[in-house]
Chain A
Amino acid sequence: MAELTQAGPQVRTELADRARRSSEYVLVPAVAVLVSAILFSVFLLFLGKSPAQFVELLWKGGFGSWFSLQNTLVRASPFMLTALCVAIPARLGMVVIGGEGALIMGGFGAAVIAIPMVSWAPAPVILAAMAMAGMLAGGIWIGIVGAVRHYRGVNETISSLLLFYIAVSVLNFFVEGVLRDPSDPNKPSTMPIGRENMIGPMPATDVHWGLAAGIVVCVLLYFLMNRTTFGFAARVTGGNLRAAQAQGLPVGRLVMVSCFIGGAAAGLAGFFEVAAIHGKANASLIAGYGFTGILVSFLARHNPLVIIPIAIFLGGIDASGGLIQRRMDLPDATVLVLQGLMFVVLLASETFYGRYSFFRKSEGT
């Protein structure tokens, strides 16, 4: 705000000043990642394993070859969409952690709407209906979180987490009950949508279109939150709820719409799980993508554009996890330790913003 009133003649200094100030948002997380890497190295040394080998395998398994890169990208795509379910409500100051529930409901909704359509509709129509149903189901699911938060004052973190458990139960109730495919006695699932109706990989890759959708949605929502009046109003609400109300902003609507958008993004991830991978809805939808999305969003400081590289980075950790298990004889939980360390250190690093005069605007001349 201050720069508007102080905009002086020295544009060049002003720009350098600005760069120095924004570098805070790069340097603090970078140092945090470095610190967590050091802590993790110590952990590995205690286990008698080599951090250097860990890094090499991380590179080899996640990024070092075309196969590894595709492995990373295919894992990154649900992370992007579920991270948005955290990031968008976060702009309003809400901590929504139930994206997994929205993903489940999205996948379930998509699979259900396809059941009566597979016999007559062409594939593009089915897929469009599925995507809409998936986004709607996920959006409503987190929209409920926003509504009970606004109207009843229920804590959104708790309610979204509890709604995740309800989503699991709803899914199980239907796939083990009325919607169960009788031809599959051992893995309760909905009727398959059929291979011919599934989404294939993007050209020249074996990565499905969910990746492209994830990137597009991240970019779109970046513009929505940073370049539109809606986004501005949302950020004002996040900054100070009372002030926003005093300004006459429709706070309740902003809360619910933001939650709906976030839930719709996670629901879209569920749609891709069904339409590109499983071909039906079953308990495999509950794979923890929604929970990794929380980590992605916090690492990205809830910035939709930054979510893209962070999701790819975590996808790479995920993709190389197997190789690390196999070559270093480490348990699977090792990768979780790394993720946990990064998360904790990054949250702790939040307290360092604004502490160092280097990043502040230079006063006087």
Chain B
Amino acid sequence: MTDFKLNRRAFLKTAAAGAAGAGALGLPTMASAAGLTIGIVYVGPRDDFGWNQAHAEAAKVLKGVPDVTVVEEENVPETVAVAKSMESMINLDDAKMIFATSFGYYKPFVLDLAGKYGDVQFRHAAPLWTDEDPKNAGSYFGYLDQAHYVDGVAAGLSTTSNRLGFVAAKPIGTVLRNINSFLLGAKKVNPDAEVQVIFTGEWSLPVREAEATNALVNANCDVITCHVDSPKVVIETAEARGVKTCGHNASQAPLAPKGFITGAEYKWSTIYTQYAADLAAGKTLPNFIGAGFDKDFVQNTPYGAGASAEAIAAADAARAEVKAGKPIFTGPILKQDGSVLVGAGASLDNYDPMLDRTDFLIEGVIGSIT
């Protein structure tokens, strides 16, 4: 009994009026007369609870900087599409700086465009820039393994089974390094701790990530963490199974109100605002910047309900130590195959180039790379 009537004629009229009205209002123009336009390209959605969200949150901070306009594009695949997206930002939005946030954007797309547009600054979120690359290109990176180390400390004091589960995407350098650091953190406070890892084989495979999480919980792991593009499924599945979790990339705290301990997060906003400030001041931008806690490039998610007072105290202490430069890789550390990685009494600097080429898991990690 409603007198709401939507006949075709009235509807078309309204729609047409709406269209005409919106057109007449004039379209917003993007190119700001003065100031700097920065373009950011993401490989996935901006609200993925993971890698892309971490960058998008930094983009929000960057938007708050006076005289800076930020243009964003999400779901841009690592093909010619990204070259065209960046070029479109340069040609149509007058972008003077581009942040390319996915690994596969760099070669050949960022390198080609940097050669073509010499007056635009390109920065890419992985430590790939070399001296042979164009000077208007560069890399920025956060050493997230430091934050995973702190996660490990908290996890090591949160487990009763001494088994921690790690859902990993591909067995590549950065992933392996995070797994190793997570175990080293756990062992620092709990020498009996082990990390069981399952590789899903892809950056984003939600079904297999859920299966892996369940398998780890079934294998008696009572703290779960991960390194996949979007940890949403892993964290939610673990929470539903009643085990504790540590996050990755961005904050997943809202997904696990009961079991969330803390997480390893990037803090790209530090880097982005620094670049904007340098450009505004007319400085030459560095071609490579990479750091961890020491320069506020990475952070831990605020502690959740799963973190005990003891874990919080130990994790805070560990973070302060790493921030001050105390090495994570302190001997004796053996690789999985029994060979010595770091001898007793020796240690590797947290930025040792050897760690960038990690192609091994250390003893105490259960699960194999191949």
Q: Which residues of A contact B (CB under 8 A)?
A: 38, 41-42, 45, 49-53, 56, 60-61, 65, 67-68, 71, 74-75, 172, 176, 185-188, 273, 277-279, 282-284, 287-288, 318-319, 322-323, 325-327, 331-333
Judge whether A277 and B19 touch: CB under 8 Å. Answer: no
- In the bound complex, residues from chain B placing their C-beta under 8 Å from that of A331 are 45, 74
Q: Which residues of B contact A51 (CB under 8 A)?
A: 19, 22
Query: Which residues of A are found within 8 Å of B93, using beta-carbon distances?
Result: 326
Question: Is B160's beta carbon under 8 Å from chain A?
Answer: no
9-residue interface stretch from B79-87, B243-251, B269-277: B79-87
Once bound together, how far apart are the Cα atoms of A278 and B106, in whole Å? 11
The answer on a CB contact under 8 Å between B88 and A71 is yes
CB-CB < 8 A to A323: which residues of B? Answer: 88, 92
Report if A45-B15 is in contact (Cβ < 8 Å); known contacts: A53-B23, A325-B74, A332-B45. Answer: yes
By the criterion CB–CB under 8 Å, are B91 and A67 in contact?
yes
Q: Assess the A71–B87 pair: CB atoms within 8 A.
A: yes
Q: Measured between alpha carbons, how far is A318 from B72 in the docked complex, in Å? A: 16
B88 contacts A61, C-beta separation under 8 Å: yes
Q: Which residues of A contact B327 (CB under 8 A)?
A: none
- Asked, given contacts A42-B15, A56-B27, whether A322 binds B76 with beta carbons under 8 Å apart, the answer is yes
Residues of A contacting B25 in the complex (Cβ-Cβ under 8 angstroms): 50
B19 pairs with A50, CB closer than 8 A: yes
Min CB–CB distance A56 → chain B (angstroms): 7
Is the Cβ of A53 less than 8 Å from the Cβ of B85?
Answer: no
Q: Which residues of B contact A288 (CB under 8 A)?
A: 77
B149 to chain A, nearest CB (A): 20
Min CB distance A105 to B, Å, is 17
Q: How far is the CA of A331 from the CA of B50 in the complex (A)?
A: 17
Q: Which residues of B contact A333 (CB under 8 A)?
A: 75
B98: A residues at CB distance < 8 A: none
Across the interface, A327 reaches (CB within 8 A) one of B28, B75, B359, namely B28
Check B173–A186 contact: CB distance below 8 A: yes
Complex CA gap A136/B73 in Å reads 36
Minimum Cβ distance to chain B for residue A11 (Å)? 43
Which B residues fall within an 8 A CB radius of A? 15, 18-20, 22-23, 25, 27-28, 30, 45, 71-81, 84-85, 87-89, 91-93, 103-104, 108, 126, 170, 172-174, 201-202, 357, 359
Residue in A closest to B116 when the chains form the complex, CB atoms: A206
Cα A75 to Cα B80 in complex, Å, equals 8
Are A186 and B80 within 8 A (Cβ)? no
By the criterion CB–CB under 8 Å, are A61 and B78 in contact?
A: no
CA distance in complex: A284, B103 (Å) = 11
- How far in angstroms is the closest Cβ of chain B from A291? 12
Closest 8 CB pairs of A and B: A50-B22, A52-B23, A332-B75, A326-B71, A284-B78, A322-B85, A322-B73, A287-B77
User: How far, in angstroms, from A53 to B21 measured CA to CA in the complex?
Assistant: 11
Set of chain B residues within 8 Å of A65, measured between Cβ atoms: 91
Residues of A within 8 A of B73 (CB): 322, 325-326, 332
Find chain A residues with CB under 8 A from B22 CB: 49-53
Q: How many Å from the CB of A100 to the closest CB on chain B?
A: 13
Complex interface: chain A residues within 8 A of B108 (CB): 277-279
Q: Look across to chain A and name the residue whose beta carbon is closest to the beta carbon of B171.
A: A176
CB distance from B175 to the nearest CB of A (A): 9
Task: Let me know if B201 and A172 touch, CB within 8 A.
Answer: yes
Q: Are A61 and B92 in touch, CB under 8 angstroms?
A: yes
**Residue contacts A-B, CB under 8 angstroms, 20 given:** A41-B19, A50-B23, A51-B22, A52-B23, A71-B88, A75-B81, A185-B357, A186-B172, A187-B172, A188-B172, A287-B77, A319-B88, A322-B73, A322-B88, A326-B30, A326-B71, A327-B27, A331-B74, A332-B45, A332-B73
Residues of B within 8 A of A278 (CB): 79, 108
CB closest residue in chain B, given A52: B23
Q: Would A277 and B80 count as touching, CB distance under 8 A?
A: yes
Bound-complex Cα distance A42 to B18 (A):
10
B46's nearest neighbour on chain A, judged by CB, is: A331
Residues of B contacting A325 with CB < 8 Å?
A: 72-74
Within 8 Å CB of B45, what residues of A?
A: 331-332
CA distance A287 to B28 in the complex (A): 32
CB distance from A341 to the nearest CB of B (A): 15
Complex alpha-carbon distance, A53 and B174, angstroms? 43
User: How far is B77's CA from A56's CA once the two chains are assembled, in angstroms?
Assistant: 24
Asked whether, in the complex, the Cβ of A284 is within 8 Å of the Cβ of B77, the reply is yes
Task: State how many angstroms separate the Cβ of B360 from the closest Cβ of chain A.
Answer: 12
For the complex, give the distance between the alpha carbons of A104 and B212 in Å.
27
Q: Are B27 and A53 interface neighbours, CB within 8 A?
A: yes
Q: Which residues of A contact B81 (CB under 8 A)?
A: 75, 287, 318
Q: Shortest CB–CB separation between residue B206 and chain A, in angstroms? A: 15
A-chain residues with CB within 8 Å of residue B92 when the two chains form the complex: 60-61, 67-68, 323
Contacts of B174 in A (CB 8 A): 186
A112–chain B nearest beta-carbon distance, Å = 20
Question: Which residues from chain B contact A187 at a C-beta distance below 8 Å?
Answer: 103-104, 172
A50 to B201, CA, bound (A): 42
Q: How far is the CB of B62 from chain A (nearest CB, A)?
A: 15
Chain A residue nearest in CB terms to B39: A326
CB distance from B351 to the nearest CB of A (A): 17
How many angstroms between the C-alpha atoms of A172 and B89 in the bound complex? 32
On chain A, the residues within 8 Å of B28 by CB distance are: 327
Chain A residues with CB under 8 A of B87: 67, 71
Most B CB contacts (10 A, CB to CB) among A41, A42, A50, A322 go to A322
For residue A282, which residues in chain B have a CB less than 8 angstroms away from its CB?
104
Q: Closest approach, in angstroms, between the C-beta of B87 and any C-beta of chain A? A: 7
A197 CA to B208 CA, complexed, in Å: 38
Q: Closest approach, in angstroms, between the C-beta of A270 and any C-beta of chain B?
A: 12
Shortest Cβ distance from residue A73 to the other chain B in the assembled complex, whole angstroms: 11
Most buried by A among B28, B45, B88, B91: B88
Whether A176 touches B170, Cβ cut-off 8 Å, given contacts A42-B15, A71-B87, is yes
Q: Provide the bound-state CA to CA distance between A67 and B202, in Å.
A: 34
How long is the Cα–Cα vector from A50 to B27 in the complex, in angstroms?
9
Q: How far is the CA of A56 from the CA of B357 in the complex (A)?
A: 48
